Each structure stands twice: as C-alpha cells, then as structure tokens.
Structure 1
Amino acid sequence: MAVSTRPAPPISGEPAPVRHGGRRHGPASPRRGNRLGGAFGWLWLLVVLLPIYWIVITSVKTRATYYAQNPLVPPADPTLDNYRQVFAAGFARYFANSLVVTAGTTLPAVLVSFMAAYAIVRGGAASRFLRTVNGLLLMGLAIPLQAVVIPIYLIIIRMRMYDTLMAIILPSIAFAIPLSVLVLANFIRDVPKELFESMRLDGAGEWGTLWRLAFPLSRPALVTVTIYQGLAVWNGFILPLILTQSPERRTLPLALWSFQGQYGVNVPAVLASVVLTTLPILVCYAVGRRQLLSGLTAGFGK
C-alpha cells in the first residue's frame, strides 16, 4: 500500500507554514523596532532640550554664581532678581507693543486672505480679474522684505506715520497676505464641489456659503496660517528697527537687542528677557498644536 507524502493540513488555530524558495518556515517573527532610529531621536531631543535647560537655569542665577559655577548645574539659591530687572527696564510696555502689532497684523491679514482665497477658488476660473489678482499675489511671494525696505520707509514718511505702531502693522499685513492666500486657497480647493452645490440648492448665497461651509471646514488651515503669521510678526526685527525710533514704540525683538547691548555683561538678565520673550510662543503652540499639525498635514492622505 502506497504511503502519502503530502504534509498534513494545519490544525485549526495554528498558522500555516510559509514557503520561501521551496523551504518551509514557521510563523513570521515580530518586526523588530528601529533601535538606531530611536537612539538618534533621543540624541536629537537632548540636543534641543540642552540649550533650553541652560537658558532657564541661567536666568535664575546671580552674576557671581554664573561665572563661578558649572553652567549646567542648577543654582543652589535661585533668584528672580533678573526678571525684576527686566520688568524694571520696561518689558511690560514692549510686550504690549508686540501684542498690539501681532494682533493688528495677523487678524486682518488672515481675514482678508480667507475671503480672497475663497473668491479665487470659486470664481477664479471665470473671472480674468481674479486670475490677475491671484498672479499678483503669487508674485508677491518672490519679493523679499529686505528689497523694499527703503520704499516702505519713504511711503511711511510721506504718510506721516513714522514712529507709530501702525507703521509696522500696515507693511506686515501686506507681506502676510500672499502666503496666507496660497495656503488657504489650496485648502478650500480640496473641499468637495458637491458641498457647495448643496448649499446653493438650499438657497444660501456666496456670503452664507463662505461663513457656514468654507469657514468651518477651513479651520485647521486658518489656525495654521494664524500661528505662522503671528510668529513671523512677533519675531519681526527689520520693520520695527527701520520704522520706529522712540523707546516707547519698541517691540520685543528690538527691545531684546537694545537690552542685550545695555546689559551685555549680565548674562543671566539677558537670558531672563529671552525666557519672557519665548513664553508667548510656547503658549500659542501648546494651545493650537493639534490644529496646527492637522493643517500642515491636510491633503497628504487624499
């Protein structure tokens, strides 16, 4: 009687053997983690956190402790005198100026950019005027701020707005609109056309469709553009340096530069001003982190 050479069928619940090149193997081994990538990730995290740690602990040291102690060792007796010195130098006024300039630039720029992006997406294919406006806005991305500082200065002088916060706000709005329109237009373009058609069938006009449909769906992109433009204006240095003169009109970057020149030897006081300048940026990132990430990654899964 002939004996069958076929392998017995696998028992229920037991994974079948895998053949590779005529050889049978058992169940596949679990995928190993990328240890080298994890090591580099932890190394990069250390590189990023080490300067931040040094700035924070140095800001609560005295000048004598800073020069006599290891820079990376926390102080035995931390002090807030450096922060008091920074506030005594007018930090509150500079903070208020930066807040006014940032809010006065970001909110109007994002609002105008959103409406312009909606008009370009919805009517740009049929309107030559909107196509021309879109082309001009794209050309604005190729013009750096440094190339037009002198014309901006002369225009502000003619408008008698020199040494005012409005002199910083108006040019900042102009330079924030092109990139904001580009980002928002690409995001609105990804909204299905069927949604706009259903809104039109329900009797909604363009203005109602803008605020009841496009605005809620574009919230991640709006948050992304707002945070990006807000950080750019908050850290702006050239326009406050060129268009203001009196200390009462200084913003934080310009005040930090002058404070560093005034207290260049007092390193802990300078770093205390750096910490206070960076705190609003960290708060904005912590509040809008999820919306920022969703706005940056929007469209990659489509």
Structure 2
Amino acid sequence: MTTTLDKRPPGAHARPTPPSKGRGFNLLRYNLLGGVAGWLWLVVVLLPIYWIVITSFKVQADYYATNPLAPPTNPTLDNYRFVLENDFVRYFINSVIVTVGAVGPAVLVSFMAAYAIVRGSAASRFLRGVNGLFLMGLAIPLQAVIIPIYLIIIKIQMYDTLGAIILPSLAFAIPLSVLVLSNFVRDVPKELFESMRMDGATEWGTLWRLAFPLTRPALVTVTIYQGLTVWNGFILPLILTQSPEQRTLPLALWSFQGQYTINIPAVLASVVLTTLPILTLYILGRRQLLSGLTAGFSK
C-alpha cells in the first residue's frame, strides 16, 4: 500500500544514496592524526614533570648511578627535609606576603576602576583619559623602567624591604586587570543597571550587588593570572632586595641552585615545593578560571 508520503510509483525501489568517496576515511585519518599528535604533546609536557618529581625522591648517589627516568628504588624525603632546613619557610612566607599584598589591592582597584570607566566614560572626558592611561601602561615593559623604579625606591627609603617589591608589582598588575575587567563589566546588560537604579540602589551598591557577582569569573581569572606573575617574579626581588631575609621563592631557588648545583635531587625538591602553592591555587579556582577564559567565546 502506497502512503501519501511516498511519491514513488508502485514497484519502484528507492535509489540508494551513493557513498561519499573518501569522506569517512579522511575524517578518520584526520582524527587519528590529531589524537596521535595530542598524545605526543601530552608526553612531551608530562615527561619533564615526571622526571622532576621522581628525581626529588632519589638519593644523590642513586641519581648518578641509575637511569634518570627510572622510579626511585629507595624513595626518601631527605631532599625535602634538606630544603626546608634552608629557610624555605621564610622564603615561602615572603612570597605569600608579596603576592597577596600586590594582587589583592591591584584586583580591587582595577575592578572599581573598570566599573567607573564603563559606567561613566560616555559622559566624562576625564574617565576616557584614565582608560587611555591604563592602556598605555600595557605598552611599558618592566625591564625598561627598572632603573627609575630602583631610584624611586631608594629615594623613599624602602630598599631591601618587601614593600619595595609589592609597590611596583601592584602598579604593573593594574593595567591588564582593568582591561580585562572593563570588558566583562561592559558585557553586563544596561537594563540590569537601570533596574538597580530604579530600585533606589546607589552606584556603590550596584557595584557590589550586581557587577561583582556577574564578573566573578573574570575576577578569579585576573587574580590567578596576576598571582602567578607576581609569584614567579624574579627581576624585582633581584634588583630591589639585598639581604637573604627578604628573598622570595624564585630568588631563593636561584641562589639555592647556585649553592647546591651538584645535589640535583635537592634542587628539584625545591622546584616542586615552589610550584605546589601556585598549582593548589589553580586547582581551587580551575572552574572559575575556565569560565572566565571561555566567556568571550560563548557570545
């Protein structure tokens, strides 16, 4: 019985659709190549990390006598104990103070500045000039102004202090943070701001009750990025500090490596301990970080 949906004459057979020549094969081939390339890149990335971790648990004599990629036959924590006994805790605290002291105020000031620029730049020439000034800050590398910074720090009598590292780090963290946060604040619908104003909310209340929750992924992204940058900073601690008591972890790691060059397992143990805090920060803020990085691609 022929239905109304079947327009073919009785007895006629459906013509089979000819297969697309090479389409499935090419797709499979490209997927295989991409998968193999991805696994190779994963091996390239993980191999040095694996070598650093297993070597940090080896005895110094075993490191020179066995295969470098072989797991330790007698794992030991002596290397980590040795690193901790060389004032690692002091350097860790210094790095935490510098990172928190620079990133916290920088993100706070950048968030308020981004809100003011987005909400008021259309009616204020001054705010447009401030936004341009922040953008100019992105074009100035740290290496180009390290000598003026050094002279200013000496002039205000802050040389060889943690504050000497915090102030320039804070200043260089603000321009990029303002740029990123202003883009996120600009994406908030204007109707929400107008609704808040009609409900009687002040600009300060709108800032913290509306803009802050909606830009939280961007705030976490900026915090993690700037925290990583300040934590790994080397040139400012090298130029602006002198005494060992004021060293941060990157500078202490450089000094430790120069002092114990032969003891490779101990040096790699110090590398692991230096990396753990920033890795922990990434794990805790991973979801918000990915949301902040991919928010612009979903629009």
Tell me which interval the TM-score lies in, with the shorter structure as reference length: over 0.9
Give, as a single letter, the amino acid of the residue that structure 1 aligns with 2:92. F
For residues 262 and 201 of structure 1, do their structure 2 counterparts lie closer, same or farther at Cα, with a shift above 3 Å needed?
A: same
Shift of 1:129: 0.7
- CA deviations on 1:35-80 (whole Å, 9 max, x unpaired) are 1111111111111111000000100111110000000001111111
The superposition leaves residues 177-232 of structure 1 with CA deviations (integer Å, 9 ceiling, x where unpaired) of 00000000001101111110111111101000000000000000000000000000
Identity of aligned residues (%): 77
Q: TM-score, normalised by structure 2?
A: 0.92
Query: For the structure 1 residues 84 and 6, does the alpha-carbon distance in structure 2 shift closer, same or farther, using more than 3 Å as the test?
Result: same
TM-score by length of 1: 0.91
The unaligned stretches of length 5 or more in structure 2 are 1-6
Q: How many residues align?
A: 289
Corresponding residue for residue 9 of structure 2: 6
**1:17-32 map, 5 Å:** 19=17, 32=28
Match of 1:83 among 68, 72, 80: 80
How far does residue 9 in structure 1 lie from its aligned partner after superposition? 8.9
Please state whether the residue corresponding to 2:72 is helix, strand or coil: coil
Secondary structure class of the residue paired with 1:89: helix
What are the superposed Cα offsets for residues 235-268 of structure 1, whole Å, 9 maximum, x if unpaired? Answer: 0000000000000000000000000000011100
Counterpart amino acid of residue 139 in structure 1: M
Cα pair distance change 1:215/1:63, threshold 3 Å: same
Match of 1:136 in 2: 133
Q: Letter of the aligned partner of 2:240 in structure 1?
A: L
Higher helix residue share: 2
Distance change >3 Å, CA 237–CA 29, structure 1 → 2: closer
- Superposed CA RMSD in Å reads 2.1
The Cα shift of 1:6 comes to 3.2
Indicate the residue corresponding to 2:283 in structure 1.
286
Asked if structure 2 preserves the Cα contact closer than 8 Å seen for 1:190 and 1:299, the reply is no
Alpha-carbon distance between aligned partners in 1 of 2:135 and 2:262, rounded to the nearest angstrom: 46
CA contact (8 A) 1:60 1:75 kept: yes
* 1:255 is the counterpart of 2:258: no
Deviations 1:156-188 (A, max 9, x none): 001000000000000100000000000000011
User: What residue in structure 1 maps to residue 4 of structure 2?
Assistant: none
**Segments of 4+ in structure 1 off by > 4 A?**
7-10, 16-19, 28-33
SS of the residue corresponding to residue 71 of structure 1 reads: coil
C-alpha distance in structure 2 between counterparts of 1:46 and 1:6, whole Å? 61
Residue 56 (structure 1) aligns with? 53
Structure 1 residues 9-158: aligned runs within 5 Å: 19=17, 32=28, 34-158=31-155
Residues 67 and 209 (structure 1), Cα distance of their counterparts in 2 relative to 1, 3 Å cut: same
Q: Alignment partner for residue 274 of structure 1, among 271, 275, 288?
A: 271
Q: Is the 8 A contact 1:17 1:24 kept in 2?
A: no
Q: In structure 2, what is the Cα distance between the partners aligned to 1:55 and 1:172? A: 29
